[in-house]
Amino acid sequence: MACTTVLVGKKASNDGSAMIARTDDGHFDIKKMIVVPPAKQPKKYKGVASHLEIILPENPMRYTACPNVDPKEGVWPATGINEANVGMTATETITSNPRVLAADPLVVYQDAHDGEKKVIGGIGEEDMVLLVLPYIHSAREGVLRLASLLEQYGTYESNGIAFNDENEIWWLETIGGHHWMARKVPDDVVVINPNQFGMDAFDFDDAFGAQEAHLCSADLRTFIEENHLDLNQNGKNNTRDIFGSHRDMDHIYNTPRAWFMGRYLTPYSHRWDGENAEFTPESDNIPWALVPDRKIAVEDVRYLLSGHYQGTPYNPYTSHDTGLRGTYRSIGINRTGVTSICQIRSNVPDPIKGLEWICFGSTTFSGWIPVYTNVPQLPEYLRNVKMTPSTENLYWSSRLIGAMADKSFASTMQDIERYQDGLAVRGRQIVLKYDRMMTETQNFDLASEANQKICEMAKSETNTVLGKVLQTSSEQMKNGYRLSDN
DSSP per residue over 170-197, as a string? EEEEEETTTEEEEEEPPTT-EEEE-SS-
Count up the domains in the chain and report the number: 2
- Look at residue 273 in the predicted model and tell me its pLDDT: 97
pLDDT of residue 2: 78
d(CA 184, CA 210): 13
Which residues, given as ranges, of the chain have pLDDT below 70?
1, 484-486
CA distance 486 to 480: 12
Q: What is the pLDDT of residue 18?
A: 98
Same domain, 31 and 148: yes
| Peptide bond between residue 91 and the one before it cis (omega within 30 degrees of 0) | yes
pLDDT reported for residue 484: 67
Considering only CA atoms, which of 334, 467, 449 is closest in space to residue 397?
A: 467
Length of the chain in residues, anyone? 486
- Whether 409 and 358 map to the same domain: the answer is no
Question: Are both 83 and 216 inside the same structural domain?
Answer: yes
Measured between alpha carbons, how far is 32 from 148 in angstroms, rounded to an integer? 29
**Cβ count near 118 (within 10 Å):** 10
Within the chain, what is the greatest distance between any pair of CA atoms?
Answer: 81
Residue 174 is inside which H or E element, if any?
strand 169-175
In a domain? residue 261: yes
* Last-in-domain residue among 337, 364, 391: 364
Q: Please state, in angstroms and rounded to a whole number, the distance separating the CA atoms of residues 294 and 268.
A: 10
Burial of 72 (0-12, 13-18, 19+ CB in 10 A): exposed
19 sits in which H/E element: strand 18-25
Q: Of 364, 398, 415, which closes a domain?
A: 364
Domain holding 115: CATH number? Answer: 3.60.60.10
Domain co-membership, 82 together with 34: yes
Closest CA to 17 of 87, 79, 83, 77: 87
CA distance 33 to 40: 15
Q: What is the pLDDT of residue 481?
A: 84
Verify that 291 and 397 share a domain, yes or no. Answer: no
Range of the domain at 36: 4-364
- Rounded CA-CA distance 343/345 in Å is 6
So what's the pLDDT on residue 1? 59
In a domain, 260, yes or no: yes
- Inter-residue contact 152 to 159 (CB < 8 Å): no
Q: For residue 342, indicate whether it is catalytic.
A: no
Catalytic residue among 3, 216, 342, 455: 3
**Residues 34 and 102 placed together within one structural domain of the fold:** yes
Assess whether 318 and 465 both reside in one domain.
no
Looking at residue 115, its pLDDT comes to: 78
Residue 370 in any domain: the answer is: no
pTM of the model: 0.97
C-alpha distances out from residue 445 to 34, 201, 440, Å: 17, 44, 13
Encoded amino acid at 127, one letter:
D
| One domain, residues 241 and 311 | yes
226 & 294 share domain: yes
Q: Are residues 304 and 446 in the same domain?
A: no
Tell me whether residue 25 is in a domain: yes
Whether 122 and 166 map to the same domain: the answer is yes
Q: Which amino acid is at 325?
A: R
